[in-house]
């Protein structure tokens, strides 16, 4: 099987090269992202492998189909960057449904603790021997209420962590997990009652901008908001308005609504044209990281293993347990 990898970084090659050899795959790595301009490079391949920063729309799927590409391997759990509906009956789309839920949940708590106790600011100060504590005061999370939106594997890991901090935990999910030791409630009630809100749900037409002007208005004053899922769960302009009005105690974002072309790249010598992102960076109670919640050794290894297993199952006509799309859901 010939596989073309898009958006390859050195850490991708570290895991995928030896596994590819073990499976006997012919893998070619590109640093270029997958988009309408670069999809032509896939014409001689059996499958392509893409990451969350890539785009595979309907016209690209049609091109791949016409050039005998059989499938799309996702190095991610989310698949909102691929038009899976257009792929039905043409290409198989295979994802990595779970790699290390703990990696993302632990990072969500890292963002929360950091933006609360301002440890990133303290680090910079003390390196200059500025030992002043002014502006570094946080709050205790013990006995505070954490609202977890999405109770899949990552959400469940976050629930366990919050309980370890002695927090009362509430959860919202349209598909509650049976026998999960958590109090489920309606989304609006959770938003109203939580001191901390952490997002752990996929991006769909129903969840896009679930955090908006209306839901922000329902939140407690000085609420903490953390997003390690998908940027478009939050309406950015509404978030900025809330920050200006001092609604938030702290905001931790590992994802951003318009992160394509910025995240995962070094733009330190450039003038950023995204005014909303630049504005967010000016708030002292906002911490933004570059979609790195998944970035642990364990998670990267698991992503590589499952991705290669998906390719092997596709090549050998085995059951495609990680297929996404309407047809896969009916099986």
> Among all residues, which ones are annotated catalytic?
230, 259, 291
> How far, in Å, CA of 25 to CA of 43, rounded?
17
For 218, the enclosing helix (H) or strand (E) is helix 213-218
Burial 142-174 (b: 16+ CB within 10 A, else e): eebbbbbbbbbbbbbbbbebbeebebebbbbbe
Closest CA to 101 of 16, 179, 51, 160: 160
Query: Any bridge partners for residue 197, and if so which?
Result: 147, 225
User: Taking the CB of residue 64, how many other CB atoms lie within 10 A of it?
Assistant: 24
Which distant-in-sequence residues (6+ apart) come within 8 Å of 78 by Cβ?
52, 95, 202, 203, 229, 230
> How far, in Å, CA of 65 to CA of 89, rounded?
10
Q: Quick one: DSSP state of residue 34?
A: P
Closest CA to 224 of 155, 132, 162: 162
Closest CA to 52 of 35, 84, 74: 74
């Amino acid at each position: 099987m010939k596989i073309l990898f898009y958006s390859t970084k050195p850490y991708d090659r570290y895991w995928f090269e030896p596994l590819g050899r073990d499976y006997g795959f012919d893998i070619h790595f590109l640093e270029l992202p997958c988009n309408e301009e670069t999809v032509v490079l896939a014409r001689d391949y059996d499958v392509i492998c893409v990451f969350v920063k890539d785009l595979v729309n309907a016209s690209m799927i049609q091109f791949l189909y016409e050039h005998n590409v059989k499938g799309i391997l996702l190095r991610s759990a989310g698949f909102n960057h691929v038009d899976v509906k257009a792929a039905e009956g043409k290409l198989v789309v295979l994802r990595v449904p779970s790699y290390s839920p703990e990696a993302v949940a632990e990072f969500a708590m890292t963002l929360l603790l950091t933006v609360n106790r301002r440890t990133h600011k303290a680090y910079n100060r003390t390196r200059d021997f500025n030992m002043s504590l002014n502006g570094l005061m946080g709050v205790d999370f013990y006995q505070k209420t954490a609202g977890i939106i999405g109770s899949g594997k990552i959400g469940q890991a976050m629930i366990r962590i919050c309980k370890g901090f002695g927090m009362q935990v509430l959860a919202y999910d349209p598909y509650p997990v049976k026998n999960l030791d958590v109090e489920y409630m309606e989304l609006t009630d959770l938003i109203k009652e939580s001191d901390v809100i952490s997002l752990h749900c996929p991006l769909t037409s129903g969840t896009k901008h679930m955090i908006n002007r209306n839901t922000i208005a329902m939140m407690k004053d000085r609420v903490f908001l953390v997003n390690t899922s998908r940027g478009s769960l939050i309406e950015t302009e509404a978030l900025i308005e809330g920050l200006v009005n001092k609604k938030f105690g702290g905001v931790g974002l590992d994802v951003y609504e318009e992160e394509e072309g910025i995240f995962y790249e070094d733009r330190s010598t450039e003038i950023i044209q995204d005014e909303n992102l630049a504005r967010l960076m000016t708030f002292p109670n906002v911490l933004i990281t570059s979609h790195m919640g998944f970035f642990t050794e364990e998670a990267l290894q698991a992503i590589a293993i499952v991705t290669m297993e998906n390719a092997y199952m596709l090549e050998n006509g085995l059951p495609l347990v990680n297929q996404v799309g309407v047809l896969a859901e009916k099986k």
